[in-house]
Amino acid sequence: MRGPLSDRMGAALLMAPLLLFLILAYAWPFLGVVKWSFTLPTPGLGQYHALLTDDLVQSVFIRTLRIAAIVTVVSVTAAYAITVVWVRGSPVQRVLAEFCILVPFWISVLTRAFGWVALLSNRGLINTWLQSVGFISEPLTLVRNEFGVIVGMSHFLIPFAVFPLASAMRSLDERVLLAARGLGSSRMRTFWTVFVPMTRSGIIGSALITFVFSLGFFVTPAILGGGRSVMIAELIYLRIFQSPDWGLGAAISVVLVVFVGALMALLFRYVKPKQLV
C-alpha cells in the first residue's frame, strides 16, 4: 500500500482540509468547554467534585451505561444474523439483506424515532392490534420508557454493527469451514465452534462501535424516553440550555469525551481501521 514519498505527501495534502476542519470546528471549541468545566461558576475542581457526588448525574451515568450495554448486545446479535445472510446467503437473500441494511440510512433519525412512537405508543399500531385480537386488555407501556429507547436505538445502530462483522466474515477462509464439515462436524456445530470464534475481531469491533455510539445518543432517547429515561447527552443539553449550569454540563462532556476516547483506543488495539468498513 505504500507508494512513493510524493504519493504519500499527496494523500496527506488531500487529508489536510479535514484535519484543519476538525481542529477549527471541534478541537478548538472543545478546549473552551474544558475551560468552562474548570472555571464556571468559580475556578477550581468544584464541578468534578459535584459530578462525583450528585445522585442525579450518577444515576444518569449508570442508566446510560446500562442502556448502551443492552443496546450493544441486541444490535450485535441482530446484526450478526443479518450479516450471515448478507455474506453467505443465496443471491436473493443477499439482495434482501442489503436492502434491509441500507434503507435505514436513507431515513432521518427523527423520522425513525417518531415512527417508533407511532408503532409503540398506547394507541399505536402494536397496542391496538394486540387489544383487537384480545391478547391484552390494557395497553402495554412500550414507549416513553427504557424499553422504547432500547428499541429505537438498536434499530438505528444495527446497520452500523453490520460492517465490521461483514468484513470479518468475508475474510474468513472457506476451506476452514469445509475442513470442519469434512471432519464430521454438523453445520450447527461448525457455526458455533469455528465460524463464530473466527469472526471474533468483527464482534469486538462491532460491539465497541455500537457501545460508543450509544453513549452519545440524544434525539432517540429524548423522543422515545419521554423525559423519563434521560441519558447523558440529554442531561448535558438540560444543564447547558435549561438550567444554566454550564460548568457541570461542561464537566460531564469532558468525562464523556475522555471515556469514549479510551474506548476508541481500546477498539484500535484489537481491530485495524480497515476491518471496520
Between the alpha carbon of residue 60 and those of residues 56, 136, 143, 151, the distances in Å are 6, 32, 18, 19
Give 106-171 as a DSSP string: GS-HHHHHHHHHHHHSTTSHHHHHHHHTTS-SS----SSSHHHHHHHHHHHHHHHHHHHHHHHHHT
| CB nearer another protein, residue 49 or residue 187 | 187
Query: Looking at 56, 90, 133, 175, which residue binds another protein (CB under 8 A)?
Result: 175
Query: Looking at 109, 194, 255, 263, which residue binds another protein (CB under 8 A)?
Result: 194
H/E stretch holding 229 reads: none
Residue 183 binds another protein (CB under 8 A): yes
Query: Looking at 29, 43, 91, 184, which residue binds another protein (CB under 8 A)?
Result: 184
Query: Looking at 81, 186, 258, 261, which residue binds another protein (CB under 8 A)?
Result: 186
Residue 165 binds another protein (CB under 8 A): no
| CB nearer another protein, residue 118 or residue 176 | 176
Terminus-to-terminus CA distance in the chain, angstroms?
17
Residue 176 binds another protein (CB under 8 A): yes
200-166-273-205 Cα dihedral, nearest 10 degrees? -40
Closest CA to 233 of 213, 253, 247, 248: 253
Residue 243 binds another protein (CB under 8 A): no
Residue 9 binds another protein (CB under 8 A): no
| CB nearer another protein, residue 203 or residue 254 | 203
Closest CA to 33 of 220, 248, 244: 248
Query: Looking at 35, 181, 228, 272, which residue binds another protein (CB under 8 A)?
Result: 181
Q: Binders of another protein: how many residues, by CB under 8 A?
A: 19
Query: Looking at 182, 242, 265, 277, which residue binds another protein (CB under 8 A)?
Result: 182
Closest CA to 242 of 225, 222, 258: 222
Residue 179 binds another protein (CB under 8 A): yes
Between the alpha carbon of residue 34 and those of residues 42, 219, 247, 253, 255, the distances in Å are 14, 24, 9, 8, 10
What track of x and - describes contact with another protein for positions 195 through 214 (by CB under 8 A)? --xx-x--------------
Q: How far is the CB of 213 from another protein (least distance, A)?
A: 28
| CB nearer another protein, residue 55 or residue 173 | 173
Query: Contact positions toward another protein, by CB under 8 A?
Result: 173, 175-176, 178-187, 189, 193-194, 197-198, 200
